Structure 1
Amino acid sequence: MLAIILTAVLGASGLAAAGTQYLNTQGEGIGPVAVQNTSESFNSGSNVVVDDPAITGQGEGEGARTVKEFQRDEQFSSFALTWTGQKDVTAFVRAEQPDGSWSQWYDMEPLTNEDSGINGTELIWHGPTNKVQVSTLNIDLFEQDAAAADENGQDIPAAEQASEPAPEAPEIPVEPAPAADAPAEIPTEIPAEAPTADYSADTGLAPLPSNYGDIQPVADIDEGFNAVFIDGNADAGVGVGNVADTDGMPKVISRAGWGADESLRCSNPTIDNGVSAITIHHTAGSNNYTEAQAAAQVRGAYSYHAKTLGWCDIGYQSLVDKFGNIYEGRAGGMTKAVQGAHAGGFNQNTWAISMMGDYSSITPSDATINAVGELAGWRAKVAGFDPTGSDTHYSEGTSYSRYGYGQRVTLPNIFAHRDVGLTSCPGDAGYAQMDRIRQIAKTKYNSLQSGNSGTTTPATSTKQTSTSNAPTTTNQPASPAEPEQSSEEDVLATLLTGGSSGGADLLNGANSEQLLTGLGSIAAVLLAASLADGSLSGLIGNVGNNNGVPVLNDVKLNEIIPIVDTVINLTGDNKYSRGWNELNNTLGPVLGAATGGETTVQYASDQNSEVSFVPFENGIMVSSPEAGTHGLWGVIGDTWAQQGADLGPLGLPTSNEYQSGDQLRVDFQNGYITFDPATGKADIHLN
């Protein structure tokens, strides 16, 4: 009988096994796109003299300045500097344009500056080029020895050299100084007999800055100081599919849509216990880019953050271009509390949105501001905080933070990077839009709160249970279900209220056909397992105080039948392995070993676009893009199964089991279940 039931349920309903998907936001896209990412020693660049009044970084006074110039055969579109250990680096870069002119100088603010590891500047998008020039402060570009020799041949430290009166410089034959737009290479070595002096543009050398003694000579720059050249391959474009993780979410270009090469990631994402604030950034660099180049910028930033800096992934959870397109950033899920690497000292429990461009003096476009505000409002609603409110945060330290370790700071719930970091990000013009962003976010938040969707997406209503252990999201039905969807729920409702016969008559005649062809769900598999003994008689009952919710008492979650014989790989990098390992690390081996593979049910509702599950020895892991991936086991798991599993009034779990006072609790899309170990009673609570 079991075989007959399973054949009918699986064949008629369309229940099917499917390969593991990372998240709904990892759907169809353009596939992995190769990114050009190369680096070379900063010392390998040519020293050239540039007479440009815009260069004020090296020293004081007027006149030409010496800069580093890098020319490469392969075209690149973004540039950065990296180093090891702490260095006080200030740098500016400009790129040669197709017509031979030069771009403006872009400020290269440091991203990190820690005592160890790889540190670096922001990755500056300057557009396609073969040549850049870099002006620096605290890295002297005059090719003099780090220490000159005194008359006895002993080394004299550079700082002491600067304190000595400079003798008059001998005449050195040189070529005329080149024009600013065509800098010429100067000799890499100055004759030993040439003492320091106030060189001028007439000699072909940049003048010594007044604070030369405080500036580290280039000869002391170790090989760990590098120039990085990146091109994100704009020809690859961007995927056309915009996907949403939950109802009410603005349209987002998935990682697959912008071409993330997932092989670059070197670790699983860290999931915090919630999101309590949103941080606004800008990426810096040129604002002159196409939509295809915007996707290339995201790919370039991903490669730079993950590969060059060793962060294992892009630092931001999301990015927004000047056209208002939103890009999924760090992997792990847009509704998850994925910890980023974007605001040193305040990465835990914060969620980043980075505006793509330099907004130091140029105001972000309306499309950008609106998209940032809507995304922030949706994310605040998922997390459960007011976009216009404030909260207390404690600094995690780092030398790049404005606040020392453990310092208590009150911040707006939507704050700027400069509010916590030693940076001007998101630029003065971007910072001036913070209140506008908060108001747009508040409007979106209020719309979602009232069951509407704002301007971009289907309606939703969400509710979070505030606990320190398990922040959750509960999505209420927002739009009328398709006829076949509501009929499936009606079938289950009929089963659970089947009258004095206990529901057994539903297995006969037309009722049997309706049941077996109407359910393409976890509930169908559970019923098939329960019907193995040929009877549903006596199953209808109640467990604890269930607020009138009927249950099937004898259904056990750990008896679910594996549909896919191949057991899922829990050592890989997928949503189930991450969830299973998280449970093992926090609660122990509560689920036991997997007994089958991932099965995706084709039943869909207005709450869940897709539902999948993996069976385990002691329970089940359930997943949907809207509810996330969570485990169920024990009394609470059985109670969920008995109220109809995914077709029951509770919906899918939005948290793992956690302690709530003296009880254990699991949150669901439409309520929660509590279990009191002292009494052995489980209660169903509907919203």
Structure 2
Amino acid sequence: MLAIILTAVLGTSGLVAVGTQYLNTQSEGIGPVSVQNESVSFSSGSNTLVDDPAVTAQGINDGPRTVKEFQRDQEFSSFALTWTGIKDVTAFVRAEQADGTWSQWYDMEPLSNEDSGTNGTELIWHGPTTKVQVSTLNVDIFGQGEAVSGADESGQEVPAANAPAEAPVEAPAAPEELPAEAPVEAPAETPAEAPVAEPAVAEPVADYSANDGLAPLPSNYGDIQPVANTDDGFNAVFIDGNADAGVGIDNVADTDGMPKVISRAGWGADESLRCSRPTIDDGVSAITIHHTAGSNNYTQAQAAGQVRGAYSYHASTLGWCDIGYQSLVDKFGNIYEGRAGGMTNAVQGAHAGGFNQNTWAISMMGDYSTVTPSDATLKSVGELAGWRAKVAGFDPTGRDTHYSEGTSYSKYSYGTPVNLPNIFAHRDVGTTSCPGPAGYAQMDRIRDIAKQKYTSLQNGDLGGTPTTTDPTSTSTTPTATNKPETPAEPDAPAEQSSEEDILATLLTGGSSSGTDLLNGADTNQILTGLGSIAAVLIAASLADGGLNNIIGNIGSNNGVPVLNDIKLDEIIPIIDTVINLTGDNKYSQGWNNLNNTIGPVLGAAVGGETTVKYASDQNSEVSFVPFENGIMVSSPEAGTHGLWGAIGDTWAQQGADLGPLGLPVSNEYQSGDQLRVDFQNGYITFSPATGQANIHLN
């Protein structure tokens, strides 16, 4: 029920104060642990036809899909793909389980290390197995130049028996080499063309003006070329971190006030894998939060094995010389020392292309796309971040300006100034969903815990963290330098409001204005079960800390108030099963129509169809399906239409289905020099020239 969701995201977090032990992280631990790491050509796998709605929905063609299947004699627990050069590869993997069934499909997001020439996906931990299947887009698994589904020249699917991995057909020419980004050696501090003395840069917001009002696509579909030859440096990687070796849990902190940490010796790092000395920056000015992706179903021993596997993959397979993260935290709250060089030193990592210099990574082990990190994980991540911020001398709830170092996996080109929270998520700077929507929704909670730890250390309390967090804490004033400010004294904690009080404020537009923001809906309609799409969006916004400056304006809205901080691409999926978009239903028809006329603007579905309880006089039944970049909404009266980008966000912010506009009755279309979507009671326009969206009521 949504009331439970709201209670969870609004309630204060109980933290148990515990004593901190202090030992040296350089103790002997369990000694070096050997890791199985084997790579084979991707084309050596067998081609297998799979009729699975989940894998079918990953592509654009109906019917069964051909996937690669790999069978190994020796058990492995993690899988990755690697390639040379710059390629746009989309891949999913699933593992055969002990009972013969298959796991879910895990999304294999790309990593980047363009300096070494070897690139690859995230290392996906799927659990012990001897067989995996890999579904790919943009990879020519037949050697015939078909980039999407493995169809033959007539457009028909080729069965595995008729499609050998090395078909004797001439491969298409490789795409021209893309122009290189500016060199990554440039400092993260202020470049010459962007001096520190310039005015502070405004907080980054979704800039749709450069993309005609469309939300960013999950991949650069316009530039995709097939991988011409899968034998040309395109490999499958099988890794097992030897979970049986265990972990030296008793190895803990190396400085007063540091949370309990498992040292490299404690988790069994083989230091012979490191191929260079650590790079030490001139300081740490921000912390980046990640997740590792893959299965959340692991034991503590398997968690240590995952760390060893990631170390082997990053250091040896990708050539990074060490694990990319400075630290990792498992679902049990155990903290692992990552990249060598000392946790109190400004060791440069390889974790957020374009923003590796002067940042320090914490990676949550698991996939937090739909699953919220455990309380133990969030507590450890927050306390570690607070301790590291105290060591570096910056406020965990402050902000600062950073300058992009470039790379093709960064959202910002070389030299771009970006104002970021001092604890920010990987997705804030990279073309990735990391740390997943559910993980990203906890960023403010992580900052709050970090601030509590930071404050306790400032006050000389080395033994723990206060038992409550302040849910109303806000960030400090942004600055235009990478040098940290002297942290401000914490504000007095504000009294927590109830869900009803907060939502009553949302519904009235503030106690003094009396504005009926959600068009007649009352608190009970939002709090009772899945009352409306607006309720789900508000829950997502509250989970992401969107309680500050609740009422705002977007462009000229003709007097219509809007809710700040609500974004359609962050909607909480209610149904775990992803809808089948290959069948003959209203959503598949609408989705395919959008793909054929506009392009893949919504991205992939991230949940199933949800029917809400609230319905107005205009709509007898309302349902929705969430997507990566937006939503599809349907009712018998309005039809089925997609919303995304600036117009979609504006519709959400005016109250979604409870707002004065009602539901969409058209998809986005060009109207003069503007984009437009029509609704039951008006329309929204977006100007690419100005970047403004305007609400027009009938």
TM range (shorter): 0.5 to 0.7
CA distance in 2, matches of 1:77, 1:411: 36
The reply on whether 1:145 has 2:144 as its aligned counterpart is yes
Q: Percent identity?
A: 80
Q: Which has the greater radius of gyration?
A: 1
CA distance in 1, matches of 2:79, 2:145: 27
Q: 1:391 aligned to 400, 420, 437, which one?
A: 400
Question: Does 320-329 or 114-123 show the bigger shift?
Answer: 114-123
Question: How far is 1:302 from its partner?
Answer: 0.3
Q: 2:164 aligned to 183, 188, 197, which one?
A: 188
The answer to whether the Cα contact below 8 Å between 1:316 and 1:330 also exists between their aligned partners in 2 is yes
Bigger relative CO (Cα 8 Å, ≥ 6 apart): 2
Q: 2:427 aligned to 412, 418, 422, which one?
A: 418
Question: How far is 1:67 from its partner?
Answer: 0.3
After superposition, residues 34-73 of structure 1 pair within 5 angstroms as: 34-56=34-56, 59-73=59-73
The answer to whether the Cα contact below 8 Å between 1:387 and 1:438 also exists between their aligned partners in 2 is yes
The answer to whether the Cα contact below 8 Å between 2:452 and 2:465 also exists between their aligned partners in 1 is no
What one-letter code is carried by the residue in structure 1 that aligns with 2:321? C
Structure-1-length-normalised TM-score? 0.54
What one-letter code is carried by the residue in structure 2 that aligns with 1:97? Q
**Measured at CA, do residues 34 and 216 of structure 1 come closer, stay the same or move farther in structure 2, by a change above 3 Å?**
same
After superposition, residues 123-142 of structure 1 pair within 5 angstroms as: 123-141=123-141
Q: Please list the CA deviations of residues 304-357 of structure 1 after superposition, one character each: whole Å capped at 9, or x if unmatched.
A: 000000000000000000000000000011100000000011011100000000
CA distance in 2, matches of 1:319, 1:136: 29
CA distance in 2, matches of 1:447, 1:95: 45
What one-letter code is carried by the residue in structure 1 that aligns with 2:407? T
Question: How far is 1:456 from its partner?
Answer: 6.9
The answer to whether the Cα contact below 8 Å between 1:82 and 1:121 also exists between their aligned partners in 2 is yes
CA distance in 2, matches of 1:262, 1:331: 9
CA distance in 1, matches of 2:155, 2:289: 53
**Measured at CA, do residues 429 and 410 of structure 1 come closer, stay the same or move farther in structure 2, by a change above 3 Å?**
same
**Measured at CA, do residues 237 and 185 of structure 1 come closer, stay the same or move farther in structure 2, by a change above 3 Å?**
farther
Q: Please list the CA deviations of residues 640-674 of structure 1 after superposition, one character each: whole Å capped at 9, or x if unmatched.
A: xxxxxxxxxxxxxxxxxxxxxxxxxxxxxxxxxxx
- SS of the equivalent of 2:53 reads coil
Q: 2:350 aligned to 328, 341, 352, which one?
A: 341
Q: Please list the CA deviations of residues 531-554 of structure 1 after superposition, one character each: whole Å capped at 9, or x if unmatched.
A: xxxxxxxxxxxxxxxxxxxxxxxx
The reply on whether 1:361 has 2:370 as its aligned counterpart is yes
Q: Please list the CA deviations of residues 131-152 of structure 1 after superposition, one character each: whole Å capped at 9, or x if unmatched.
A: 00000110133x36349xxxxx
CA distance in 2, matches of 1:350, 1:448: 21
Question: Partner residue of 2:101?
Answer: 101
What one-letter code is carried by the residue in structure 1 that aligns with 2:286? A
Q: Please list the CA deviations of residues 506-563 of structure 1 after superposition, one character each: whole Å capped at 9, or x if unmatched.
A: xxxxxxxxxxxxxxxxxxxxxxxxxxxxxxxxxxxxxxxxxxxxxxxxxxxxxxxxxx
The reply on whether 1:330 has 2:306 as its aligned counterpart is no
Question: Partner residue of 2:24?
Answer: 24
Question: Partner residue of 2:241?
Answer: 232
CA distance in 1, matches of 2:99, 2:482: 58
**Measured at CA, do residues 191 and 440 of structure 1 come closer, stay the same or move farther in structure 2, by a change above 3 Å?**
closer
Question: How far is 1:214 from its partner?
Answer: 9.2
- SS of the equivalent of 2:453 reads helix
After superposition, residues 390-409 of structure 1 pair within 5 angstroms as: 390-409=399-418
**Measured at CA, do residues 277 and 40 of structure 1 come closer, stay the same or move farther in structure 2, by a change above 3 Å?**
same
What one-letter code is carried by the residue in structure 1 that aligns with 2:332? F
Question: Partner residue of 1:274?
Answer: 283
CA distance in 2, matches of 1:250, 1:53: 45
CA distance in 1, matches of 2:271, 2:239: 18
CA distance in 2, matches of 1:255, 1:314: 11
After superposition, residues 75-474 of structure 1 pair within 5 angstroms as: 75-112=75-112, 114=114, 117-141=117-141, 143=142, 145-146=144-145, 187-188=163-164, 220-453=229-462, 455=464
What one-letter code is carried by the residue in structure 2 that aligns with 1:104? Q
The answer to whether the Cα contact below 8 Å between 1:248 and 1:456 also exists between their aligned partners in 2 is no
Question: How far is 1:56 from its partner?
Answer: 4.1
The answer to whether the Cα contact below 8 Å between 2:88 and 2:225 also exists between their aligned partners in 1 is no
**Measured at CA, do residues 57 and 333 of structure 1 come closer, stay the same or move farther in structure 2, by a change above 3 Å?**
farther
- SS of the equivalent of 2:55 reads coil
Task: Give the ranges of 4+ consecutive aligned residues of structure 1 lying more than 6 Å apart after TM superposition.
Answer: 166-169, 189-193, 212-215, 468-471
The answer to whether the Cα contact below 8 Å between 1:35 and 1:232 also exists between their aligned partners in 2 is yes
- SS of the equivalent of 1:307 reads helix
- SS of the equivalent of 1:24 reads coil
CA distance in 1, matches of 2:90, 2:135: 8
What one-letter code is carried by the residue in structure 2 that aligns with 1:354? S
* Count of equivalent residues: 398
CA distance in 2, matches of 1:189, 1:316: 36
What one-letter code is carried by the residue in structure 1 that aligns with 2:346? A
The answer to whether the Cα contact below 8 Å between 2:143 and 2:230 also exists between their aligned partners in 1 is no
CA distance in 2, matches of 1:283, 1:236: 21
Runs (5+) with no aligned partner, structure 2:
1-22, 170-220, 467-480, 487-698
What one-letter code is carried by the residue in structure 1 that aligns with 2:285? S
CA distance in 1, matches of 2:407, 2:453: 34
